[in-house]
Amino acid sequence: MSDTIASTDAAATAGPRKGSLLVLDKRTRKRNAAEARFRLMGQIAVTIGVLALVGLLTSILMNGLSSFRQTYIQVSVYLDPAKLDKNGNRNLEDIAKVTTFGYAPLLKKALADKMAKEGISIEGLSEKDAAALISKEAPADLRRYVLAHPTSIGKTVSFNLLASGRIDGYYKGRVTMESAKLDRNVSPQQLMLADKLKADGVLTTRFNWEFFTAPDASDTRPEAAGLGVAILGSAYMMLVVLVLSLPLGVAASIYLEEFAPQNALTDLIEVNIANLAAVPSIVFGILGLAVFINFAGLPQSAPIVGGLVLTLMTLPTIIIATRAALKAVPPSIRDAALGVGASKMQSVFHHVLPLAMPGILTGTIIGLAQALGETAPLLLIGMVAFVREYPGAPPEGFFDPASALPVQVYNWTQRGDPAFVERASGAIIVLLVFLVLMNLIAIILRRRFERRW
């Protein structure tokens, strides 16, 4: 003990003695500077995180918002019986024999007449080039109209037709006079004509409803491409996911949380659920391709297959959320039910489950939102296919080919025409709006029914 005390005095003088507390010593100042630097690093990190979000959203909005507006050309077309119904008998089958190519001259003539009437002429612009202002999709639209209204043949009907993608791009800043000089698909003369037509009110830009309803269009017709099939396909898939994953997930959670004995099987299930939550989504795509398509022989590109794959992916999310919700119901509720003579099953289904329902629904909606944005697995089960036909009504429609919102985005990014970048960004906005709505519902549910014991 004595040597301890002896060494004490030596050590007590070892450290430098401090001065007044009111004066910052040099070292403290240095340390405070380091503190400030560290704090600044934190601020920078948070700023980067927030800026990344802002940048991401701004980039998508700037590129995509214009897809909600579209340029149209208003022309009166004389539906020439000599061209559309050579036999003159208004027989639908005969009319149907005229292909879309047969309708193109009508449009060309209609636009030329319009220009003549308004006194518009552009030097070095042929009638054919002028007609190229109108989308290649327009003759098909015209044909569809005539087939639906055969009596209109011989009359002059006013149509609001899509302008071609480049003309549309001109009014969205994507195409300029300079770029048109270098562009095979559009000439400055055509743009001048477009300007004149706009001045006369023939060419207008308005809200693009077709973007939400129309099916996809081919490579050369970005102006006609819409999300109709993709939205329907995504909706079908979400329906499948909801119908399958909610009951399965809730049943599995109830078993694991309320009934499962402590044994190897339960452990195995738990381990599986934890690991499935971390399996890369593309592996689920491989599973879908190998099992649902190649093995079970379900059709490619079908919402049912997409729904099944997404169900398997969503299950862990729903199970984890449901178990948390079940766990949050205090044991006293179970004890109370058991105490009045209810069976275990009755206590769960009559008391615990209804109390846990808001939590379960919130988890389910969040799981659905995840599934809605999932892309990779759908690529592997053939959802990338070019689908123009709307799937039929459920349940048969589940087996028809369809697209999905995120896959449609991917599809459009693979096309050559830059107008498709606008479409892809627009589709992202639609997707994000759906996600925001779903999450809002989840938040409202949670706020409204949140219970604290």
Partner 1 sequence: MNQMTEVEQKAVEMLNEPKIVARNVQVYYGDTHAIKDVDVDIPAQSVTAFIGPSGCGKSTFLRTLNRMNDTIDICRVEGDILIDGEDVYDPKVDPVQLRAKVGMVFQKPNPFPKSIYDNVAYGPRIHGLSRNKTELDEIVTSSLQKAGLWDEVKDRLDAPGTGLSGGQQQRLCIARAIAVNPEIILMDEPCSALDPIATAKVEELIDELRENYTIVIVTHSMQQAARVSQRTAFFHLGVLVEEGPTEDIFTNPHDKRTQDYITGRFG
Partner 2 sequence: MSVGILILIVLGLALLGYFVGRQRALSKAANEGRKLHSLPSYYGQFLALFTAVPALILLAAWLFVQPMLIESHVSGLIPDSAIPEGGARSLVMSDVRRIADGLDALMEQGGLGEEDLTRMRADLTNIRSRLAEVGIALGSNVPVEVFDAAKTYRSEKNTGSLLMTIAVLGLSLASGGWAFMRIRPELRARNNSETFVKALLLGSSLVAILTTVGIVGSLLFETFHFFQIYPAKDFFFSTVWNPQFRGGSDLGILPLLWGTFYVSFVALVVAVPIGLMIAIYLSEYAGRALRNLAKPAIEVLAGIPTIVYGLFALITVGPFLRDWIAQPMGLGTSSSSVLTAGLVMGIMLIPFVSSLSDDIINAVPQAMRDGSYGLGATQSETIRQVILPAALPGVVGAILLAASRAIGETMIVVLGAGAAARLGLNPFDAMTTVTVKIVSQLTGDTEFASPETLVAFALGLTLFVFTLGLNVLALYIVRKYREQYE
Q: In the range 17-36, which residues lie near partner 1 by CB under 8 A?
A: 18, 20-25, 27-28, 31-32
Contact residue for partner 2 among 230, 238, 424, 430 (CB under 8 A): 424
C-alpha span between 270 and 49 (Å, rounded)? 34
Across-strand partners of 162?
72
Q: Is 153 in the site for partner 2 (CB under 8 A)?
A: no
185 contact, one of partner 1, partner 2, none, CB 5-8 Å limit per kind = none
Q: Tell the residue number behind the tokens 């498709």, with chain if given.
A: 420
The stretch among 149-157, 235-243, 277-285, 350-358 that binds partner 2 (CB under 8 A) is: 277-285
Q: What stretches of 222-348 show up as alpha helix (H) in DSSP?
A: 228-254, 264-276, 281-287, 303-328, 331-339, 344-346
Q: Is 319 in the site for partner 2 (CB under 8 A)?
A: yes
- Footprint (CB under 8 A) of partner 2, residues 50-89: 50, 52-53, 55-56, 59-60, 63
Contact residue for partner 2 among 379, 386, 397, 446 (CB under 8 A): 379
Contact residue for partner 1 among 4, 151, 158, 262 (CB under 8 A): 4
The stretch among 162-170, 226-234, 357-365, 429-437 that binds partner 2 (CB under 8 A) is: 429-437
410 contact, one of partner 1, partner 2, none, CB 5-8 Å limit per kind = partner 2
- By beta-carbon proximity to partner 1, the closer residue of 16 and 201 is 16
98 contact, one of partner 1, partner 2, none, CB 5-8 Å limit per kind = none
Contact criterion met (CB below 8 Å) for 301 and 379: no
How would you label 315-330 residue by residue, b for 16+ Cβ within 10 Å and e otherwise? bbbbbbbbbebbeebe
C-alpha span between 198 and 172 (Å, rounded)? 14
Q: Is 2 in the site for partner 1 (CB under 8 A)?
A: no
C-alpha span between 366 and 374 (Å, rounded)? 13
Sequence-separated (6 or more) residues with CB below 8 Å from residue 38? none
Contact criterion met (CB below 8 Å) for 431 and 406: yes
- By beta-carbon proximity to partner 1, the closer residue of 5 and 278 is 5
- By beta-carbon proximity to partner 2, the closer residue of 135 and 375 is 375
Q: Is 280 in the site for partner 2 (CB under 8 A)?
A: yes
**Helix or strand holding residue 160 (H, E):** strand 156-162
Q: Is 416 in the site for partner 1 (CB under 8 A)?
A: no
148: left (phi over 0), alpha (psi -120 to 50) or beta: alpha
Instruction: Provide the residue type at 304 as one letter.
Output: I
CB of 83 to partner 2, least distance (A): 27
- By beta-carbon proximity to partner 2, the closer residue of 194 and 371 is 371
Instruction: Provide the residue type at 431 as one letter.
Output: L
Which of 332, 376, 328 minimizes the C-alpha distance to 355? Answer: 328
Q: How many residues bind partner 1 (CB under 8 A)?
A: 21
Q: Is 310 in the site for partner 2 (CB under 8 A)?
A: no
Contact residue for partner 2 among 24, 25, 29, 38 (CB under 8 A): 38
Rg (CA), the chain: 33
Structure tokens at 297: 């022989």
Binding positions for partner 1, rule: CB under 8 A: 4-5, 7-8, 10-12, 14-16, 18, 20-25, 27-28, 31-32
